[in-house]
Amino acid sequence: MANHSQFGFQDASSPIMEELVEFHDHALMVALAICSLVLYLLTLMLMEKLSSTTVDAQEIELIWTILPAIVLILLALPSLQILYMMDEVDEPDLTLKAIGHQWYWTYEYTDFKDLTFDSYMTPTTELSPGHFRLLEVDHRVVIPMESPIRIIVTASDVLHSWAIPALGVKTDAIPGRLNQTSFITTRPGIFYGQCSEICGANHSYMPIVVESTPLTHFEHWSSILSS
């Protein structure tokens, strides 16, 4: 959950999000090194008298061609690795289907017979103490901790987007099309998200809440909801 005046990311709760945070820090250090070098050269040009040079023009052209290529490689290789990791869906333990509507979500646990429910935002007047305004829902998505989860996302009317920042998940919900992604929660907790695609007048009133629990608690919850 993000805090007021927070400059960084939320605490990573999945391996993918951890990789994304590390890549962000890596890219930021590369940008800092480039800015420092440019600032140093500008200061040198302003403070020193350049009466002569001992570097040939071809050598300078070679340097300013090779250096940017090295920088791009340093950024591209880890970026491509994370991209392929995010696209990989390998033998999930649970498959969840999320259907976006105006303006609520429908969830179907496809591995269970009759486990389907709608998730609406909890009105401000009905919030319990400690719950977050515009983020709490009447039915949370409950998933087992440390288990590969595949989520299939679609929509019934307009474009939506199923996004959980702490898990590093953001998948567009498109009518007539199925998009899928996967994630693993590394710790128990409650993770909040919102629809990240402008979908109409009440776009900001269709939050997403994922609750990660131990497997025994998930089995107990699913048995109660299915009965």
Cis peptide before 64 (omega within 30 of 0): no
| pLDDT tier for residue 52 given thresholds of 50, 70 and 90 | low
Asked whether the predicted pLDDT for residue 173 surpasses 90, the reply is yes
What is residue 118's predicted lDDT score, i.e. its pLDDT?
Answer: 93
Domain boundaries, the chain: 15-87, 94-226
Cβ neighbours for 195, distance < 8 A, ≥ 6 positions apart: 100, 103, 160, 161, 162, 163, 203, 204, 206, 207, 208
| pLDDT tier for residue 195 given thresholds of 50, 70 and 90 | very high
Tell me the CA distances in angstroms from 211 to 10, 13, 136, 190, 218, one per residue in order.
16, 12, 12, 4, 10
- CATH architecture assignment, domain 94-226: Sandwich (2.60)
State the fold for domain 15-87: Helix Hairpins (1.10.287)
Residue with tokens 């409950």: 142
Tell me the CA distances in angstroms from 206 to 24, 49, 138, one per residue in order.
28, 62, 11
What is residue 106's predicted lDDT score, i.e. its pLDDT?
Answer: 95
What is residue 96's predicted lDDT score, i.e. its pLDDT?
Answer: 93
What is residue 119's predicted lDDT score, i.e. its pLDDT?
Answer: 94
Tokens of 96: 């969840």
Tokens of 154: 């679609």
Mean pLDDT of 40-47: 85
* Mean pLDDT rounded to a whole number for the chain: 89
What is residue 50's predicted lDDT score, i.e. its pLDDT?
Answer: 65
Residue pair 148/96 in contact (Cβ under 8 Å)? The answer is: no
Cα 212 to chain centroid, rounded: 16
Asked whether the predicted pLDDT for residue 53 surpasses 90, the reply is no
pTM here?
0.83
- On the CB side of 218, CA atoms within 13 Å amount to 19
Residue with tokens 């140093």: 40
What is residue 56's predicted lDDT score, i.e. its pLDDT?
Answer: 67
Residue pair 10/194 in contact (Cβ under 8 Å)? The answer is: no
Asked whether the predicted pLDDT for residue 1 surpasses 80, the reply is no
Q: Are strands 94-101 and 149-155 parallel, antiparallel or unpaired?
A: parallel
| pLDDT tier for residue 222 given thresholds of 50, 70 and 90 | confident
Tokens of 57: 């023009």
Query: What is the number of residues in the chain?
Result: 227
The torsion region of residue 52 among left (phi > 0), alpha (psi -120 to 50) and beta comes to beta
Closest CA to 165 of 12, 4, 32: 12
